[in-house]
């Protein structure tokens, strides 16, 4: 029997990485918020590798942090290893990566939610979205509890119609052995939403005590302190190593001999899997000429012997898994604690969403995270904070908050989803960003903190510290540009040590820093008065000066992009009635309903000729509205 259990402004269904950010953003912006979860014991669970960051994903974490989100703060607090990746490459692709303590991350995030003002947290299996007309009204739970709200955000991850698969064994289930969400998927279908079916997977967890680490290669964390949050309070960290080993010919032989038992190749698995994180059996088949694949053995926490075997995701039968793992150097006597598995689940086709992550069919209903066809904790969290912000702005009757492709990786992620759709679990890559030199992880605060402050998610004190940093960066850049150094023994010694060409005349510090081999710290050797700067400030100054020419070119490209984005297309256009458009273009444009000419250019099936037609159409409409003939 249904009963009214509570009235709220915003309801978030799901407490994974998207749900946590959505709920916190809503509550921190002053809305009475309810976060509902299938299990209070699995808030912010990491069912796959307990790692955060890496290329493109580190940028997302820092952008969420700049907006006032929680993922970076929590990662810093629970990290057991931090490394900077791609240090030999340019700043556009450098990225931090953290190995987190799985349980500690969950405990920290649950505690943050439980103590957040304006936020209630309840264990409820949501089975139905309540709608009145074309507006959302609330949700109903398995026990009959009904909760009403003006905005609802669905962040159910991979739980919709979840099915766990190990070999020829399959049973209903969510990640980590939880209950699946079955009725909610049907409720979404009943509301007219088109759902797709994806598959993802995870490797076995193995017992640390059964591994011979002397046969593996140690992968230590960085010696210098690294933190994701620009406002981190973590000043020291014990680094726990990861380990590297390799699959081999024997490993691949075991897999090939048992492909007939693989649900991936027997047709038992129906959903499409992730291209960029394939199972080991998929890698062996697709890259048959490759004799070995990297395998990382990574700790799941400080107080557990469970180790994650990255690179060996599989849905092979459990006996094959054990035989396969025991061919790896160092794992000859390994014991499996939890077998690897595949999981199939339903997702919402994301082209049914607007760029604010609100559904096109039902006002006030938002979706964020893996339910939108993405993979990864970071992608989920990024969508979560944007959905949370926009649910509040929807209730306040304000314009949606949208980050463009030129402003952040968050913008690239969401624009790709709603404009291009997905054919496989979406993973954000640096190659997807056109302006990655200006969308670096080091300058995420410079790009987005002001927006977070205006939204009410960044505190006044934090904003003050940010403005101090911004001013310091500008002052140091100006100092280096105006400070000239004459030829002297100290300068010659420094240049010789760096194998840098000698100078023939007085030169500014900024000019010296533009040389590829010269670093900011080298300038500090010169007998001049230098300010004491934080590492992050020095890094920002160095990148901005070194890459000044490239950044100027990219900024010029961004201006052209923004011009196209500024050419708005009314949502009310019936593209079938626009003369000159190709039939496929009209169909795709009516489906997506792009907000601008810029967005229209990124729709598959819309060609340059169609864009020209749209620009002429806009000009004609403009003349009509102004009374011109």
pLDDT per residue as tens digits for the range 131-145: 999 999 999 999 999
Q: For residue 85, is pLDDT > 90?
A: yes
Q: What is the CATH number of domain 3-198+345-454?
A: 3.50.50.60
pLDDT tens profile 493-504: 999 999 999 999
How crowded is the C-beta side of 91, counted as CA atoms within 13 Å?
23
Mean pLDDT rounded to a whole number for the chain: 94
pTM over 0.85: yes
Q: For residue 275, is pLDDT > 80?
A: no
Give the model's pLDDT for residue 316. 95
Q: For residue 301, is pLDDT > 90?
A: yes
DSSP letter at 420?
I
pLDDT tens profile 122-172: 999 999 999 999 999 999 999 999 999 999 999 999 999 999 999 989 899
The pLDDT confidence band at residue 276, using thresholds 50, 70 and 90, is low
What's the average model confidence in pLDDT over 202-223? Answer: 97
Give the model's pLDDT for residue 233. 86
Residues 6 or more apart in contact with residue 52 via CB below 8 angstroms = 61, 71, 75, 79, 97, 98, 100, 228, 377, 378
The class of domain 460-549 in CATH terms is: mainly alpha
Cβ atoms of 614 and 578 within 8 Å: the answer is: yes
Residues 6 or more apart in contact with residue 546 via CB below 8 angstroms = 513, 514, 516
Q: For residue 217, is pLDDT > 60?
A: yes
The pLDDT confidence band at residue 619, using thresholds 50, 70 and 90, is confident
Give the model's pLDDT for residue 628. 61
Give the model's pLDDT for residue 256. 95
pLDDT tens profile 252-264: 999 999 999 988 7
Give the model's pLDDT for residue 31. 98
> Measured between alpha carbons, how far apart are the two ends of the chain, in Å?
64
What's the average model confidence in pLDDT over 6-26? Answer: 98
Give the model's pLDDT for residue 168. 87
Enumerate the domain spans of the chain: 3-198+345-454, 205-341, 460-549, 566-626
pLDDT tens profile 405-458: 999 999 999 999 999 999 999 999 999 999 999 999 999 999 999 999 999 999
Cβ atoms of 541 and 524 within 8 Å: the answer is: no
**Helix H segments across 258-317?**
263-266, 280-286
CATH homologous superfamily of 566-626 equals: GidA associated domain, C-terminal subdomain (1.10.150.570)
What's the average model confidence in pLDDT over 209-231? Answer: 96
Residues 6 or more apart in contact with residue 47 via CB below 8 angstroms = 158, 175, 176, 202
pLDDT tens profile 306-339: 999 999 999 999 999 999 999 999 999 999 999 9
What's the average model confidence in pLDDT over 80-87? Answer: 95
Cβ atoms of 387 and 22 within 8 Å: the answer is: yes
CATH topology of domain 205-341: Elongation Factor Tu (Ef-tu); domain 3 (2.40.30)
What's the average model confidence in pLDDT over 102-115? Answer: 98
Spell out the long-range contacts of 508-512 with Cβ–Cβ below 8 A and sequence spacing 24 or more.
508/480, 508/481, 508/482, 508/483, 508/484, 509/479, 509/480, 509/481, 509/483, 509/484, 509/485, 510/477, 510/480, 510/481, 510/545, 512/485
């Amino acid at each position: 029997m249904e009963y009214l259990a509570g009235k709220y402004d915003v309801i978030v269904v799901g407490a994974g990485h998207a749900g946590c950010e959505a709920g916190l953003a809503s509550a921190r912006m002053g809305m009475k918020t309810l976060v509902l979860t299938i299990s209070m014991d699995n808030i912010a669970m990491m069912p796959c590798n307990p790692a955060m960051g890496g290329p493109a994903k580190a940028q997302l974490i820092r952008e969420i942090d700049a907006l006032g989100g929680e993922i970076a703060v929590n990662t810093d607090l629970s990290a057991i290893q931090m490394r900077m990746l791609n240090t030999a490459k340019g700043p556009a692709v450098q990225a931090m990566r953290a190995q987190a303590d799985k349980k500690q991350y969950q405990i920290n995030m649950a505690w943050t939610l439980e103590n957040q003002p304006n936020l209630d947290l309840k264990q409820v299996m949501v089975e139905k979205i309540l709608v009145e007309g074309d507006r959302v009204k609330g949700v109903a739970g398995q026990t009959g509890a009904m909760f009403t709200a003006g905005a609802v955000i669905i962040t159910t991850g991979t739980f919709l119609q979840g099915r766990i698969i190990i070999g020829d064994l399959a049973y209903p289930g969510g990640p980590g052995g939880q209950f699946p969400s079955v009725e909610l998927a049907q409720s979404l279908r009943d509301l007219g939403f088109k759902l797709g079916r994806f598959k993802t997977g995870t490797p076995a967890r193995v017992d640390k005590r059964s591994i011979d680490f002397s046969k593996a290669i140690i992968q230590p964390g960085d010696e210098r302190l690294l933190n994701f949050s620009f406002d981190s309070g973590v000043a020291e960290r014990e680094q726990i190593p990861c380990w590297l080993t390799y699959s081999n010919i024997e490993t691949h032989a075991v897999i090939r001999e048992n492909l007939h038992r693989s649900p991936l190749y027997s047709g038992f698995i129906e959903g499409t899997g992730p291209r960029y994180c394939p199972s080991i059996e998929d890698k062996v088949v697709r890259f048959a000429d490759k004799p070995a694949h990297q395998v990382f053995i990574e700790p799941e926490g400080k107080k557990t012997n469970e180790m994650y075997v990255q690179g060996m995701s599989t849905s092979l039968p459990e006996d094959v898994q054990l035989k396969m793992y025991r061919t790896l150097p160092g794992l000859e006597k390994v014991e499996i604690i939890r077998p690897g598995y595949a999981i199939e689940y339903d997702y919402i086709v994301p082209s049914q969403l607007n760029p604010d992550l609100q559904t096109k069919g039902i006002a006030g209903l938002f979706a964020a995270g893996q339910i939108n066809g993405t993979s990864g904790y970071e992608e989920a969290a990024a969508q979560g904070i944007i959905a949370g912000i926009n649910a509040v702005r929807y209730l306040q009757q304000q314009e949606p908050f949208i980050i463009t492709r030129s402003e952040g990786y968050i913008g690239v992620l969401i624009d790709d989803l709603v404009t291009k759709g997905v054919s496989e679990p979406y993973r954000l890559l640096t190659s997807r960003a056109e302006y990655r030199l200006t969308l670096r992880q080091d300058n995420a605060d410079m790009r987005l903190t002001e927006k977070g402050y205006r939204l009410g998610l960044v505190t006044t004190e934090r904003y003050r510290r940010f403005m101090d940093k911004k001013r310091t960066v500008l002052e140091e850049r100006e100092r280096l540009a105006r400070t000239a150094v004459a030829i002297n023994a100290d300068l010659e010694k420094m240049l010789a040590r760096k194998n840098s060409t000698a100078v023939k005349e007085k030169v500014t510090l900024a000019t010296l820093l533009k040389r590829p081999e010269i670093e900011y710290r080298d300038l500090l050797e010169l007998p001049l008065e230098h300010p004491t700067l934080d590492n992050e400030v020095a890094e920002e100054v160095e990148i901005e000066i070194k890459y000044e020419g490239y950044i100027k070119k990219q900024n010029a490209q961004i201006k052209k992009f923004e011009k196209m984005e500024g050419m708005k297309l009314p949502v009310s256009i019936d593209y079938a009635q626009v003369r000159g458009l190709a039939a496929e273009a009209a169909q795709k444009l009516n489906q997506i309903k792009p907000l601008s000419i810029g967005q229209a250019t990124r729709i598959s099936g819309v060609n340059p000729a169609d864009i020209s037609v749209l620009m002429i159409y806009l000009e004609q409409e403009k003349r009509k509205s102004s009374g011109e003939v």
